[in-house]
Amino acid sequence: MATQLLDFTAWNLRVRAIDASYEWSWSHVASTTCIAIGTVLCVAGAARTDSGGRGRRRAWRAAAVLMAVLLADNVTRLHEHVPHWPIVYAPIVVGLGVAMAAVAAGRPGARLVQGAVGLLCLSLVIHVAGPKAVSALGWSPTSLAFQVKVALKEGTELAGWVLLLSGLSRLVPLGVRRPRPAPEPASTATRGPGYAA
């Protein structure tokens, strides 16, 4: 948020690397990196959850798929070319929240995950409703109020991904849990030639 307002007040949004509305600003790159790492953690969570936790494994898998979709969108900016994109995008975020709640239920890191999903939902609301609210109040894109809206949207999104990453790193099981193999029956010694019974 601070870098967006600094770029606006000091350089009139000329420094693209810190302009949060620019597609490849530092905050966009940081969010994309968090989503990529989160996707890998969800895949690892699905692979490392033992067979007794089938519901949790399914939740990990669902989270991995939804994170991959969000990652692809964040890289391609596909939603900017889809009319009424919030109708498609909102269920993905809600689905991710449900999957994360199932993964985190009763485990350390659950509150981090809940807070992260809340921030991501807030960012989505600001992204959808913010421009209309700012426009209704008569504030132009060159006004400080509009830039505060941009900074809040990007700031809550980045904070959400960072918190989600922190929570996921606490939830992923540390090793692959495989059931122990059953002990083999003791083999009888082979009697060699000339052995007297």
Residues 121-156: tens digit of each pLDDT: 999 999 889 888 888 888 888 888 888 999 999 999
What is the percent of the chain where pLDDT is above 90?
Answer: 46
Q: Which residue has the higher pLDDT, 162 or 80?
A: 162
Residue 195 lies in a domain: no
Residues 6-58: tens digit of each pLDDT: 888 888 888 989 988 888 899 999 999 999 999 999 999 999 987 767 889 99
Residue 178 lies in a domain: no
Q: What mean pLDDT do residues 103-109 have? A: 87
User: For the chain, what is the HEC assignment?
Assistant: CHHHHHHHHHHCCCCHHHCCCCCCCHHHHHHHHHHHHHHHHHHHHHHHCCCCCHHHHHHHHHHHHHHHHHHHHHHHCHHHHCCCHHHHHHHHHHHHHHHHHHHHCCCCCHHHHHHHHHHHHHHHHHHHHHHHHHHHCCCCCCCHHHHHHHHHHHHHHHHHHHHHHHHHHHHCCCCCCCCCCCCCCCCCCCCCCCCCC
Q: How many domains does the chain have?
A: 1
Residue 93 lies in a domain: yes
Residue 103 lies in a domain: yes
Structural domain that includes position 12: 2-171
Residue 62 lies in a domain: yes
Residue 180 lies in a domain: no
Residue 24 lies in a domain: yes
In the predicted model, what is the mean pLDDT of the chain? 85
Q: What mean pLDDT do residues 166-188 have? A: 68
Residue 66 lies in a domain: yes
Q: Is the pTM of this model over 0.85?
A: no
pLDDT of residue 122: 95
